Amino acid sequence: MLRTAPWLLAAGFLGCKACAGCFQPDQPVKPDDHHGDSELEDTADTGDTSPPEDTAPPPPCDLPETEPNDGLGDADAITLEHQACGNFSEAGDNDWLVFPAEDADWIRVGVDAASRGSRASVAFTLMARESGELTLQSSDGFVEDPWILFPVLGDPEYYLFLNEADGLSGEDYGWWLLASEDKAPVTWTREEVEDNGTAAQAETVQRGDVVFGKISDSYDYDWFHVQVPASETGITWTFTVEAYSSGSPLAARMSLYGPDVVGADIDDVTYLDSSFHDGTVADRDPQIVWPSRDATDWYLLVKMTREEAERNPGSAFHWYTLSIENDLD
């Protein structure tokens, strides 16, 4: 099962499991991957009296983990653009990594495990210590292996805490991970301005706007006001959130209200439309398409899904864009 409190999960291992005597340099290489290399090495080592474990295959990546790395203070230092790898070789094995942001604006962190035949269901927590931000990424039924694409927060380095989501371990529970500089996956024309936590505080946006925002915690409600002028009635409007499918951890919910929501408790007001449908969380990047019949004022609410807020609260990593379009575009 997925953990609900990444900080607790991570902090639980800060004491570092005593593992100095169980260092296992060999990685869970698929049998065929390095067979040839291994043979070459064996041949070159004629006359070598090294013990058998020194004939293990060469590291299957640029930056193999070095146990013990179960505590934040023992994190393996990795660098952008160089693949790291390791495995959850024994019960309770967790692996910390740390990488510098260098001068990147956006960074992608991607795990390969199930996609390479590993039995590991990898979850990782990404932490920005100076900013005090974290997010939990796991294979959640939407992706085989977890990944994230995030705008840097200004921290000089970022920490990763990898664990096997079901607490399983073994030689075939390997992982590979690459952190790399990337381009922004979205473009925007403006950024949200907090506080926009009620309809009365909603930022006014209009056709053609693309807002870049963040759901910075579970209670961050972002309201936007759309004024529908008489000249833009009788047409279809489209409001689209882009986040999860482009690497944000955010699973957003969007709802569209009429002007009666201003000053009211939203539980007392019926929305015009909502992306949320009971019984499914499949609607990860919501879109609402709605006709404008009369000149009016609309209010859009973007927030987290309740299920997601319990599993992985919002953070500065939880970015999204909201685009406002209609038939006149």
Per CB under 5 A, residues contacting Ca ion are 69-70, 86, 93, 95, 196-197, 213, 220, 222
| DSSP 8-state assignment for residue 215 | -
- Identify the three-state secondary structure at position 48: coil
Which of residues 95 and 145 has its CB atom nearest to Ca ion in the complex?
Answer: 95
Long-range Cβ contacts of 267-274 (<8 Å, 24+ apart): 272/298
Q: What residues does 158 pair with on adjacent strands?
A: 99
- Backbone region of residue 209 per phi and psi (left: phi > 0; alpha: psi in -120 to 50; beta: other values): beta
d(CA 284, CA 142): 10
Which of residues 171 and 182 has its CB atom nearest to Ca ion in the complex?
Answer: 171
In whole angstroms, the minimum distance from the beta carbon of 31 to Ca ion comes to 20
In whole angstroms, the minimum distance from the beta carbon of 300 to Ca ion comes to 12
In whole angstroms, the minimum distance from the beta carbon of 280 to Ca ion comes to 24
In whole angstroms, the minimum distance from the beta carbon of 277 to Ca ion comes to 23
Token code pair at residue 287: 């879109």
| DSSP 8-state assignment for residue 85 | E
In whole angstroms, the minimum distance from the beta carbon of 196 to Ca ion comes to 5
Long-range Cβ contacts of 276-283 (<8 Å, 24+ apart): 276/305, 281/251, 281/305, 281/307, 281/308, 283/253
**Angle ∠(60,183,202) on CA atoms, nearest 5:** 130
Token code pair at residue 130: 């100076």
Which of residues 139 and 196 has its CB atom nearest to Ca ion in the complex?
Answer: 196
Which of residues 186 and 292 has its CB atom nearest to Ca ion in the complex?
Answer: 186
| DSSP 8-state assignment for residue 131 | T
Which of residues 94 and 137 has its CB atom nearest to Ca ion in the complex?
Answer: 94
In whole angstroms, the minimum distance from the beta carbon of 313 to Ca ion comes to 13
Which of residues 34 and 303 has its CB atom nearest to Ca ion in the complex?
Answer: 303
Q: What is the dihedral of CA 72, 74, 75, 77, to 10 degrees?
A: 140
Residue 106, CA distances (Å) to 12, 149, 186 in order: 29, 7, 11
Which of residues 70 and 209 has its CB atom nearest to Ca ion in the complex?
Answer: 70
Which of residues 235 and 266 has its CB atom nearest to Ca ion in the complex?
Answer: 266
d(CA 89, CA 22): 10
Q: Could you give the count of Cα atoms lying within 13 Å of 134 in the half-sphere of its Cβ?
A: 20
In whole angstroms, the minimum distance from the beta carbon of 134 to Ca ion comes to 17
Residue 164, CA distances (Å) to 71, 172, 287 in order: 15, 12, 34
Which of residues 111 and 292 has its CB atom nearest to Ca ion in the complex?
Answer: 111
In whole angstroms, the minimum distance from the beta carbon of 121 to Ca ion comes to 15
In whole angstroms, the minimum distance from the beta carbon of 184 to Ca ion comes to 18
